[in-house]
């Protein structure tokens, strides 16, 4: 089931990359963040119990096993087989999964997930910078990009994302980002949609700053939404041997899923 969360977070992570590029010139002061409460995730009002976690795992019918500690970061999650699934998870159940992952490099903490009647979903979470490089390696993010993000993230990053999205036949059917916050600072959607896959030849040595010129250049990129959708679809295609979303969408307090999930998921813990 953690796979479902990770696929949803592919959108989330890609959003973070764009946000960071847009806010690289802003300085973050930990003491001020703590005083203002901007180092704590936004409260979505979702609470979970141990029963939510147990029920959420049971719905996925995935067997979890442990990999040797010597396993490389890139291979720290391995999946085998697949089976049909037709079910739904509540906001509390998904929140329980987000906060109890059986994986050493899961970077999200104090997370809440909320599914809304209009087809949107919200995620509010802290990010553990200590494990982010290993997480990025598993996700296939270039090391230079991960290093760049690490330099620009605040010391105690928290992120909020609201997005309306759905999958049909393992492809993005709807993709409508609605709002972003980084350390409780609202961010303009147009800057996010201006992001293109990084051309690292354009990135100068980072001193925790990014030029206004680069922001201007990002705003000129055409077909921004298409680039992001292509990125997500490519990841979905890479998962097709063990994951296929015939349908995945949000309703009031529900993530509805019809498709296939792996029989077994082995992780390094």
Instruction: Determine the pLDDT at residue 202.
Output: 37
Q: Are 196 and 224 in contact (CB under 8 A)?
A: yes
> Mean pLDDT across the chain, nearest whole number?
78
Question: Residue ranges of the domains in the chain?
Answer: 2-267
Which of 8-12, 145-149, 213-217 is predicted most confidently?
145-149
Counting residues of the chain whose pLDDT is more than 70, the rounded percentage is 72
Tokens of 239: 């998962």
C-alpha 207, offset from chain centre: 26
Among 46, 28, 14, 45, which Cα is nearest to 183's?
28
CA–CA separation, 225 vs 166, rounded Å?
A: 15
Residue 187 near residue 19 (C-beta atoms within 8 A): yes
Look at strands 185-187 and 264-267 and give their pairing: unpaired
Query: pTM for this one?
Result: 0.77
If you average pLDDT over each of 75-79, 111-115, 135-139, 203-207, which comes out highest? 111-115
pLDDT digits (tens, 9 = 90+) for 158-168: 889 999 999 99
- How many residues appear in the chain? 269
Backbone angles phi, psi at 81, to 5 degrees: 70, -175
Structural element, H or E, at residue 134? helix 132-139
pLDDT for the residue numbered 209 = 37
- pLDDT value of residue 3: 55
**Residue pLDDT, tens place only, 82-125:** 999 999 999 999 999 999 888 999 999 999 999 999 999 999 99
Residue 65, helix vs strand vs coil? strand
pLDDT in tens, 186-202: 877 665 565 444 444 33
Q: Picking from 2-11, 138-147, 205-214, which range would have the lowest pLDDT averaged per residue?
A: 205-214
Structure tokens at 209: 């700053």
> Among positive and negative, which fits the CA dihedral 50, 111, 254, 115?
positive
Phi, psi of 241 (to 5 degrees): -70, -20
The pLDDT value recorded for residue 184 is: 80
Of the pLDDT bands very low, low, confident and very high (cuts 50, 70, 90), residue 144 is confident
33-72 residue pLDDT tens: 454 455 688 999 999 999 999 999 999 999 989 999 999 8
Question: Tokens at residue 140, please?
Answer: 């296939």
């Amino acid at each position: 089931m953690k796979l479902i969360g990770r696929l949803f977070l592919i959108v989330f992570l890609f959003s973070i990359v764009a946000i960071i590029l847009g806010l690289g010139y802003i300085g973050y002061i930990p003491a001020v963040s703590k005083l203002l409460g901007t180092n704590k995730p936004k409260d979505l009002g979702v609470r979970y119990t141990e029963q939510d976690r147990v029920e959420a795992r049971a719905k996925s019918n995935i067997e979890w096993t442990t990999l040797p500690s010597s396993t490389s970061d890139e291979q720290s999650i391995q999946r085998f087989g697949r089976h049909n699934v037709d079910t739904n998870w509540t906001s509390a159940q998904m929140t329980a999964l987000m906060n109890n992952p059986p994986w050493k490099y899961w970077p999200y903490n104090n997370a809440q997930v909320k599914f809304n009647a209009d087809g949107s979903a919200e995620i509010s979470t802290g990010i553990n910078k200590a494990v982010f490089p290993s997480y990025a390696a598993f996700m296939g993010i270039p090391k230079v990009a991960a290093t760049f993000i690490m330099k620009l993230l605040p010391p105690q990053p928290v992120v909020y994302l609201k997005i309306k999205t759905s999958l049909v036949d393992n492809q993005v059917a709807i993709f409508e980002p609605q709002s972003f916050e980084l350390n409780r600072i609202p961010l303009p959607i147009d800057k996010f949609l201006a992001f293109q896959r990084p051309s690292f030849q354009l990135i100068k040595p980072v001193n925790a700053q990014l030029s206004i010129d680069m922001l201007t250049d990002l705003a000129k990129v055409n077909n921004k939404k298409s680039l992001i959708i292509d990125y997500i679809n490519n990841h979905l295609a890479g998962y097709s041997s063990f994951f296929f979303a015939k349908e995945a969408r949000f309703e009031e307090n529900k993530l509805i899923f019809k498709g296939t999930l792996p029989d077994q998921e082995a992780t390094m813990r």
